[in-house]
Homo-oligomer: A and B are copies of this chain.
Amino acid sequence: MSETLVIVGGDAAGLSAASKAKRADPDREVIVFERGEWVSYAACGMPYYVKGEVEELDDLVAVVPETFRDQRGIDLRTGHEVFAVDPDTQTVSVDGPDERFEQPYDDLLIATGASAVVPPFDGMALDGVFTMHDMDETAAIDAYIDDKTPQTAAIVGGGYVGVEMAEALTARGLDVSLYEALPRLLQPFGDVVAESVADHLREHGVDLFLDTPVSGFRGDGAVEEVAFAGETNAADIAIVGVGVEPNATLAEGADIELGHTGAIATDEYGQTSADHIYAAGDCAEARHAVTGESAHVPLALTANRSGRAIGQTVTGTPTPVGDIAGTAIVKAFETGAARTGILDEERAREAGFDPVSATITAPTRPHYYPGGADLTVTLVADRESGRLIGGSLVGRDGLKRIDTVATALHAEMTVTELQNADLAYAPPFSPVWDPVLTAAKVLDGQR
């Protein structure tokens, strides 16, 4: 009898694993339980649907359920919630649309994702107050704007969602205010990026309230005001994006070990503390390429990659899930920001480094060639060894250069080695010294 791979969660990690396992071993029975109706969708594209740049919500679906079922032979069951795992009997308990039942597994992948944090604000239940955690809520935001024609928007949280939704709602014609409890936006990107993006948002008319914890929302049935620090502002719609938390309760209920981040602890093959149980994607930890320690950075590539690796491992080809570098990139109006590795000095010290950093601003093309723009590059290295440990970029052009820095981090290159890398130059693409090289040169000179 063929073995059965059961997967909990039908998005990037779960369906990457399912597809890979089935391709590697077509006889394997692969069952995917998804509690919702949407599968395999690009959550990162949702703000651009609200903005109006993506026409149909369906456009965000990478692969439709029928393809998984009919072409890939995956037993994909939407509307099925797995509510318990028993590692001893190797069984999951499933709440299906018609009945509850037990499903035995030989291997289990927990790919339950993460959820938007719902803060204990007053008025979270008012109409017009949204988090942005799934496709249905995204559709609801879009419909609310169409139906209620709100004039003012309060965005709470200055992370990816906040910054991207500030752009999206401004494009829809709303007056946008953004509230961040910390003194700066985009915390993981460091001061240099945060200040530059803040300036850019202000230039586009976004009213920024930094260092400003929100206490809640007020209104009669629907939101009318956002309350903070004893004041209120008008808000006909509110988007709350104050972070995500891993959906780890299913694993926790089965006595599977969680890491210090609260996400599911895994080894280099994505296996949890329980035999035959793996975890991948936004619910799981991963090893950080710079610190070597466990981290929780819920992003799409990690989910896809670890799911795929686990699909190979369970079908007989042990494949490490790979390290993360915390690489991220975000657009805000005409500017962009990118980061990788460790930028925070305190965190660098905790990981045993003596951080030294340099920031330079240089054009992405020669002064004489049209189309370039200033790019601000920050690089961080360990002073003694010269090892590169992090970097950030902010500017209107050339943001994918962060991949050069990320690759150098994975390879444990020193800043001396990076400044000697033979990067591409021709006037339509770059100055002779790419801004990343210039930053490496400056940093190498001052450590």
A residues contacting B by CB (< 8 A) are 12, 42, 44-45, 48, 53-54, 59-60, 160, 289, 299-302, 304-305, 320, 322-331, 336, 338, 340, 366-370, 398-404, 406-408, 410-413, 417-418, 420-430, 432-434, 436-437
Residues in B with CB closer than 8 Å to A406 are 421-424
- The answer on a CB contact under 8 Å between A410 and B413 is yes
Residues on B with C-beta less than 8 A from A301 are 422-423, 425, 432-433, 437
Contacts of A289 in B (CB 8 A): 422
Contacts of A433 in B (CB 8 A): 301, 304
- Extra A-B contacts (16), CB below 8 Å, given A326-B422, A329-B430, A403-B424: A42-B366, A45-B369, A45-B427, A59-B367, A60-B368, A320-B420, A329-B426, A329-B429, A402-B424, A403-B421, A403-B423, A403-B436, A407-B408, A407-B413, A407-B423, A411-B417
On chain B, the residues within 8 Å of A367 by CB distance are 59
**Separation in Å of the A88 CB from the closest CB of chain B?**
34
Out of B368, B408, B421, name the residue touching A42 (CB < 8 Å).
Answer: B368
Do A430 and B12 have beta carbons less than 8 Å apart? no
Measured CB to CB, the closest approach of chain B to A60, in angstroms, equals 6
Contacts of A160 in B (CB 8 A): 426
Chain B nearest CB, measured from A38 CB (Å): 15
- Please indicate the chain B residues that have their CB under 8 angstroms from the CB of A324 in the complex: 422
Residues from chain B with a CB closer than 8 A to the CB of A412 are 411
Once the chains bind, are A323 and B53 in contact (CB under 8 Å)? no
Shortest Cβ distance from A405 into B: residue: B407
Q: Which chain B residues lie closer than 8 Å to A420 at the CB level?
A: 305, 320, 322-323, 410
Known: A404-B403, A404-B407, A411-B411. A422 touches B325 (CB 8 A): yes
Contacts known (A54-B368, A304-B433, A430-B400); A44 close to B425, Cβ less than 8 A: yes
Closest-by-CB residue of B relative to A370 is B53
Could you give 25 example pairs across A and B, Cβ below 8 Å?
Answer: A42-B368, A42-B427, A44-B427, A54-B368, A160-B426, A300-B432, A301-B422, A301-B432, A304-B433, A325-B422, A326-B422, A327-B422, A327-B423, A329-B426, A331-B428, A331-B429, A398-B400, A399-B429, A400-B424, A401-B403, A403-B421, A407-B411, A410-B417, A410-B420, A410-B421
